[in-house]
Amino acid sequence: MKNIAIIPARGGSKRLPGKNTMPLGGLPLIAHSIKQAKEFPAIIDEVYVSTDDNSIKEVALVYGAKVIDRPAALSGDEAPTVSALKHVLQNIEHEVGCVFLLQPTNPLRPKNLIAEAYELYEQHQPQSLMTVTRNHQKFGKIIDHQFVPFNYEIGQRSQDLEPLYFENGLLYLIKPKLILEEKILGVPNFAMIVNHPFASVDIDTQDDFDYAAYLLNQFPLKK
């Protein structure tokens, strides 16, 4: 039984064309996730890239990943990520113990995140694990053109806010059975708190990409 990493990376991004192969810190964007997975061979046995794009496929092979060609029916804007994960599982022969989902648009991860997440996964034995980050912003709704606070009261200090967290997308660990049922999060699901500047990076636009480049320069290979 093997643990595998799956990196779903389709082509055809509309807001930032070619983003998965754009160079970030001297590496194609997708190569960051491949290299991070391959740094932990005692935890992750194989790294798979699911893609419909030949340029992404070429980069993935250069950096040592195995490639599963994703059919067009699973590559559109509306296709959920779990459909690509399921397709990978259906196209490999060996039994899988655990799936690490690494999204290429979250290329920056604290150095030991994969090892620390797997240790928690083994300790707590959840159906899935996800990374989350503490929110420190004051949110509200607009009702009849009026701002109505949602998670605070007017005048309340930010440090006194009730703890709320957001799904940062850095890492997911998932039991294969869940994926075959077309689910990513199970019950129980373990939330691993990651408070790091990298948790704010999710690349969809040029501004996101530029911010990632800035952070990579500020925090090279740091935890």
Classify domain 2-218 at the CATH superfamily level.
Spore Coat Polysaccharide Biosynthesis Protein SpsA; Chain A (3.90.550.10)
**Dihedral, 82, 193, 30, 66 alpha carbons, nearest 10:** -60
Q: How many CA atoms lie within 13 A of 210 on its CB side?
A: 3
Stretch 140-162: mean pLDDT: 91
What percentage of the chain reaches a pLDDT higher than 70? 99
Alpha carbon 180 to chain centroid, angstroms: 19
The full set of domain ranges for the chain reads: 2-218
Q: What is the pLDDT of residues 67-83, one digit of tens each?
A: 999 998 888 877 899 99
Task: Write down the pTM of the prediction.
Answer: 0.93
- Indicate the pLDDT class of residue 223, thresholds 50, 70 and 90: very low
pLDDT over 60 (residue 179) = yes
Burial of 29 (0-12, 13-18, 19+ CB in 10 A): buried
pLDDT of 221 above 60: no
Neighbours of 83 (CB within 10 A): 18
Residue bearing the bigger pLDDT, 26 or 158: 26
